[in-house]
Amino acid sequence: MFKGEHEPMSITKKTFERLLSFIYIYPHYFIGSNADLPIVGGSILSHDHFQGGAHEFPMAKAKLEDVFSLSAFPNVRAGIVKWPMSVIRLRSSDRQTLADAADFILNEWKMYSDEEVELLAHTGETPHNTITPIARRHGDDYELDLVLRNNRTNKQHPDGIFHPHEEVHHIKKENIGLIEVMGLAVLPGRLAEELSQLKEALLSQNPLKKSKPVLLSRNTKHGQSVCLKRTPLQRRIQKPFYKKEVGMIFFLEFSHRRVCLKKTEQGKTAFKRFIHTLI
C-alpha cells in the first residue's frame, strides 16, 4: 500500500496512527511498515508504503517473556516478546493512547546508546536507531509490535552490526524487511538452483565430490556441513533435510539482527536497561 505522494519512508507518530486506523476499519488484517533507514529498511526507502494482509505470521503467535508498565500510559499493557529479535509489544483498547505510547518509545529509542553492546544512536549527525512497527487487532484491543532496529556498521561487520553476518551470506545478505522480521524467510532467487545442486550432491554416494563449483565457491562450508550430516534415511527425504538446514541458518540470522546483542544474558540485561528508561 503506497502513499499517494511520492515521499521517502518515515517512521513517526503519524505512522502509528495510520496503522491503527487501518486495523480499525479492517480488523481481520495485520499491517506494518518497513523501517526508514538503509540496511534495516527493506528494499524501497524512496516511497513511503505499508504491507499487510489476512495472514498470521509466526511473530504474531509469540508470547510475552516479560511484562512491564509504562507509568505515563497506565492504560497500555507492555511486554517483551519471546522472539529472536528485540521486540516490544503494546496493547490497549484506546487507539490514540497506543499511538502516543509507541511514539514515546520511538523517540526514546532514537536517542538511546549502550556502548557495552556496540549500540550507538548516532555517528556524528547520522542516525542509526529506528523501529519496524506491526499492528494487529484482537477484538476490542489494538496491538503494536515495535521491533528495535539499528543500522550501524563497523570494520568487522561492514554490512551492519545487527544484520546477517558474513558467515550466513551464502544464504542471505540482502536487507531484512518487515516480512522477514515477522518470521517468513524471503530468500534470493539464486538459492533455487544452488539448493537443487546441493540436493543432487546429497543423493550421490560421494556428496563432497559431486558438489558443483557454485557450492564449492559460495557454499563450501555450509554444503560440506550438510553433506557430512547426511544419514542413509535422510538420503530418502532430502527436501525436508536441506530445507531444515536453511531454516537453521535463517534462525541464526535472526540472532545477528537482535540489537542489544544476541539472546545471551548480556543481551537480555542490555535490553532491560533500555526498558528501564521507559518505565
What are the CA-CA distances from residue 158 to residues 38, 154, 164, 181 (Å)?
A: 13, 5, 11, 21
The arithmetic mean of pLDDT across residues 230-234, rounded, is 49
Q: Which of 59-68, 146-155, 197-206 has the lowest mean pLDDT?
A: 197-206
Give the pLDDT band of residue 161 (cuts 50, 70, 90): confident
Run of H or E residues at 134: strand 129-138
pLDDT of residue 117: 87
The arithmetic mean of pLDDT across residues 119-146, rounded, is 96
CB 267 within 8 A of CB 258: yes
CB 112 within 8 A of CB 37: no
Which residue, chain included where needed, has cell 534495516? 40
CB 150 within 8 A of CB 128: yes
pTM of this structure: 0.82
pLDDT at 113 over 90: yes
**Nine cell digits for residue 34:** 518497513
Say how far apart CA 162 and CA 160 lie, in whole Å: 5
**Whole-number CA gyration radius for the chain:** 20
For residues 124 and 42, the model is more confident at 124
Q: Percent of the chain at pLDDT above 90?
A: 46
**Nine cell digits for residue 83:** 522472539
For residues 127 and 222, the model is more confident at 127
> How is the chain split into domains, by residue range?
13-162+264-277, 189-255
| Residues 19-58: tens digit of each pLDDT | 999 999 999 999 999 999 988 876 688 888 999 999 999 9
